[in-house]
A and B are shown apart, each in its own frame.
Chain A
């Protein structure tokens, strides 16, 4: 019975195949002809792209590891002033996308910027510009991405620390290990799969990062893809660059998946779970732990928030000039529509997988969740390539009207690419919920006379209600912060807080970028706060 090819199977298959379109497109475009730009670039900038991407990646990984693991360790094992506050406050950094962090960094440290203004107010006129460090270029990009993304490592490392058995910690004490030795001999190795999973996510996001590196004019593979399409109108070359980037990202994707599976063992320890007693720090140790966490919290969240707030207050005309209500409506419109579409189809797809239990479908579903690993720029361009091909090769050959306008530069196209990008978020979230429902629950339902549809509607949906709400919040958070897809595919004159901030910043109007950035941070922070319990997995204890 369970192996039947039913309507759920076909619906799931169609959804998975749709999500796979960009990957097929990128791979199939690899052999297309490109313009001279390719030759030009191959001899000049390609090495630079790869070098810059590598430096950025390596630096961000080292810093996010140190900051994420360090802060997770402190809040998980020790009690110090505000340690409970930092536990969730550190994830607020997610509210600040790297490009907004980049604007804040520049706004504060630039010549005659906020730092200068502070010094001038405190000490009077002076030649402070020379003494103020400049966090721009590669260093600025590294800092922006690090402070925006370290929370991936923090969340997963903390969850792993949280679920480590007290017995393991006691064992260390028993063997006479010092705290430091226990940390690197027992605690850290046990949390390694979770940390690697977090670092893989950071790596994928770093390679996909567009806004911050573009702002600091760092040439990476991602900006190269964007430029080859925008500046040189060479879709084929954009796809060729994407192909190289994708190979690299898939390696990370596999690494992340393998690590995540291993990490599960730490989260599912059955029985013997003993709530760890936190060690109370005092004196200098307590002070340094507090300073460390406060610095990260300040640097990652308060600093950009205050900088944007400061400029909003200093240049109030930008606030009044901004069509705030329109931007809010546009942003919420995209959020609600995309969340609804994503959740509905991910539910169908998950249920299809569950009732069909078909190997082919499982393979397609696993492949289709790779969307989150693919940079938004690549997805957007691959989508345009696909629509162009479909239009030229299929639609026009039937003598039908062009479909380009329906999909490119339209809300529909935007939502479809969001769907591909964030499908894994919705699919995996629902899958986690489904994993908590034993298959015998379904079978019991059938045996009570419920059909598949009735089981889905009356048993599964009510059970998954909380998960769905949480997934909707996560999707909203991602869409609010998302930049490249929105930038490339949005309809004419349709702006969100993210695009408005980007456009102002790219026109060197950083003060004007402050207001939409501030709104974006506040809305995202709101979503993070209401879902922090789920994000931190505290409810799983």
Chain B
């Protein structure tokens, strides 16, 4: 059977030490060059999924195919060295007795014959800004530098599939975004299909063509980053993303609902609910607008300055805490215990309820 997808992982289960490590995971990468980000908290199986794909763990059931070739199933397990899949580990996995340059060049030995894609040492060194550490040994460089060197070694192999496990977790925040931009550019240019595991949702939303949310060893949602953020498919995903709260509301018409504290809320439901249904409405910080003239005033209990914006936490009469996003150029700031106006009528572009 010819599979049209570039990569497929179907119903994969993996157990170790009597425990479920990966539970019935399935997703596909349609096109070569796509970047997939797997997002989830620590210790729930993200890395294990990468290890099964790399062939470092043998799956108990399901199948993994790459480029139409079955590489893993219960019976078949192509050895890692024969898969042409590269994995950059989160922790330092550089060869300790070789310099950074030698480490990277060991990666270059693979796929030497691939002439259509070319990535020189210089390009990769510039990309990741590691020229100054080329002659150093792994123990002489910082964790962030080691991670970039490891990433360079994986990139230079130009594999069929590149797996990156928290590739920038140790990189300084100030430098991280720049590296993310460069990484995305080079992956797109070389059309290297990549799966990135991260717990940083901003990183996932920026880099990923698609994002998967992994919770409790399972893939809970797999979709475009925008949809994952704005249309989470379960309360678990909402709780994990932690970008909003759920408040009780009653559906009053096909485009309105009513909340005890906020009054009428209008917008487009992404899923139909019968009139009169009691639901949990997802309220994200950017859903409410600030308006000093509004008669709907709530008490400020906290204010977080985030550089580009403020996040106010407001307390409703029924003691629900609601986050509200305000641009940081907002002229006057509201102190804790002051009243804060919310613009009415409340309009939410897409209404997500559970």
B81–A1 CB distance below 8 A: no
Interface hits, B84-134 → A, CB 8 Å: 84-87, 89, 91-97, 106-107, 109-110
A447–B86 CB distance below 8 A: yes
B56–A446 CB distance below 8 A: yes
- With A448-B109, A449-B110 already in contact, the answer to whether A463 and B97 are too (CB < 8 A) is yes
Contacts of A3 in B (CB 8 A): 58
Our pick among B81, B93, B107, B109 for the contact of A438 (Cβ within 8 Å) is: B93
Closest CB in chain B relative to A408 CB, distance in Å: 43
Our pick among A1, A436, A441, A446 for the contact of B57 (Cβ within 8 Å) is: A1
B79–A447 CB distance below 8 A: no
A322 at the interface (CB under 8 A from B): no
Closest CB in chain B relative to A234 CB, distance in Å: 50
Closest to A438 in B: B93
> How many chain B residues touch the partner (CB < 8 A)?
30
Contacts of B89 in A (CB 8 A): 440, 443-444
B55 at the interface (CB under 8 A from A): yes
Closest to B111 in A: A449
Interface hits, A437-486 → B, CB 8 Å: 437-438, 440-441, 443-451, 459, 462-463
B278 at the interface (CB under 8 A from A): no
Interface hits, B44-102 → A, CB 8 Å: 54-58, 77, 79-87, 89, 91-97
B56–A1 CB distance below 8 A: yes
User: Could you mark each residue 419-448 of chain A with 1 if its beta carbon is under 8 Å from any beta carbon of chain B, else 0?
Assistant: 000000000000000001110110111111
Contacts of A448 in B (CB 8 A): 81, 86, 106-107, 109-110, 153, 157
In the bound complex, what is the Cα–Cα distance between A449 and B92 (angstroms)? 19
Interface hits, B193-238 → A, CB 8 Å: none
A440–B91 CB distance below 8 A: yes
Most buried by A among B86, B89, B110: B89
Closest CB in chain B relative to A368 CB, distance in Å: 25
A443–B107 CB distance below 8 A: no
Contacts of B81 in A (CB 8 A): 446-451
Closest to B157 in A: A448
In the bound complex, what is the Cα–Cα distance between A447 and B92 (angstroms)? 15
Interface hits, B16-39 → A, CB 8 Å: none
Closest CB in chain B relative to A450 CB, distance in Å: 6
Closest to B107 in A: A448
In the bound complex, what is the Cα–Cα distance between A436 and B92 (angstroms)? 12
In the bound complex, what is the Cα–Cα distance between A444 and B92 (angstroms)? 10
Extra inter-chain contacts (13) besides given A440-B91, A444-B93, A463-B97, CB under 8 Å: A1-B80, A437-B96, A440-B93, A444-B87, A444-B89, A444-B94, A444-B153, A447-B86, A448-B110, A449-B81, A451-B79, A459-B95, A462-B97
* 25 sampled A-B residue pairs with Cβ under 8 A: A1-B56, A1-B58, A1-B79, A438-B91, A441-B93, A441-B96, A443-B80, A443-B89, A443-B93, A444-B94, A446-B79, A446-B80, A446-B81, A447-B81, A447-B87, A448-B81, A448-B86, A448-B106, A448-B110, A448-B153, A449-B84, A449-B110, A451-B81, A463-B95, A463-B97
A interface, CB within 8 angstroms of B:
1-3, 436-438, 440-441, 443-451, 459, 462-463
